[in-house]
Chains A and B, each alone.
Chain A
Amino acid sequence: RKEVEQDPGPFNVPEGATVAFNCTYSNSASQSFFWYRQDCRKEPKLLMSVYSSGNEDGRFTAQLNRASQYISLLIRDSKLSDSATYLCVVNKGDSWGKLQFGAGTQVVVTP
């Protein structure tokens, strides 16, 4: 079983619509959670950290459910520029600094 699992997609989303997707992680000792965005053949870029209380950054909302060990990302009012691969990233509790990546969820926003 992978340590971080994501639906690879693609999620085809009309411009202006809302899209949401999850990832699950296996290590209950994980302490830090992030969503990174990766454009084709580019480096991952931090989109947002994910906190237990849930957090929002503009059109993006992230939620963490520790009991069920999943993280979600919701994108409202999708823009064409939101097309990318979204990487779910978890910091293992027993090895500070060592990030574990999911394989990514591809989102394609269409006009």
Chain B
Amino acid sequence: EAGVTQFPSHSVIEKGQTVTLRCDPISGHDNLYWYRRVMGKEIKFLLHFVKESKQDESGMPNNRFLAERTGGTYSTLKVQPAELEDSGVYFCASSQVGPGQGPDTQYFGPGTRLTVL
């Protein structure tokens, strides 16, 4: 079974440009999450989709970040315009278990390393 995939693996852009990251979750997983690790810090939650709906977007830093999951399959995370502090590794994760069904094991993709110059 294929795991969570992310594209691109690396992206180097200039401040003010736009970047779109893509995540393909494990097939059949309704839950999709975005996380970010800024250098020297712990991994931080950004948002959670259940199918195509945003369940929790409390971790989104500001309105320069837009996440979508049209059709409830893959998701995109757009940063527009990018700032220097957006540099980091963006991880996507997916899980199958719903609320109240037990520990929510999330499977992570390899991440997209974003560098904003």
List A residues at the B interface (Cβ < 8 Å). Answer: 2, 4, 32, 34, 42-46, 49, 87, 91, 95-104
CA distance A58 to B30 in the complex (A): 31
Is there an interface contact between A101 and B43, defined as CB atoms closer than 8 Å?
A: yes
In addition to A34-B103, A43-B91, A43-B111, 19 A-B residue pairs with Cβ atoms within 8 Å of each other are A32-B103, A42-B110, A44-B43, A44-B91, A44-B108, A45-B108, A46-B106, A46-B107, A91-B104, A97-B33, A97-B48, A97-B99, A97-B106, A98-B48, A99-B33, A99-B104, A99-B106, A101-B35, A101-B43
Q: How far is the CA of A96 from the CA of B33 in the complex (A)?
A: 12
- When the two chains form their complex, are residues A43 and B42 in contact, meaning their CB atoms are under 8 A apart? no
B103 and A97 contact, CB distance less than 8 A: no
Scan B7-44; emit 1 where CB is below 8 A from any A CB, else 0: 00000000000000000000000010101000001111
B104 contacts A43, CB within 8 Å? no
User: What number of residue pairs across chains A and B have CB atoms under 8 A from each other?
Assistant: 56
CB-defined contacts of A46 to chain B, threshold 8 Å: 105-107
Closest to A101 in B: B43
- B21 CB to closest chain A CB (Å) equals 14
A44 to B45, alpha carbons, bound, how many Å? 14
Between-chain CB contacts (< 8 Å), 21 pairs: A2-B42, A34-B105, A43-B91, A44-B43, A44-B91, A45-B108, A49-B105, A95-B58, A96-B99, A97-B48, A97-B95, A97-B99, A98-B56, A98-B58, A98-B59, A99-B106, A101-B43, A101-B44, A103-B41, A103-B42, A104-B42
> In the complex where A97-B104, A98-B45, A102-B42 touch, is A43 in contact with B56 (Cβ < 8 A)?
no
Given A42-B110, A43-B91 in contact, is the A97-B43 Cβ separation under 8 Å?
A: no
| B53 contacts across to A, CB distance below 8 A | none
The residues of A that contact B70 with a CB separation of less than 8 Å are none
A101 contacts B110, C-beta separation under 8 Å: no
CA distance A73 to B36 in the complex (A): 25
Contacts of B55 in A (CB 8 A): 97
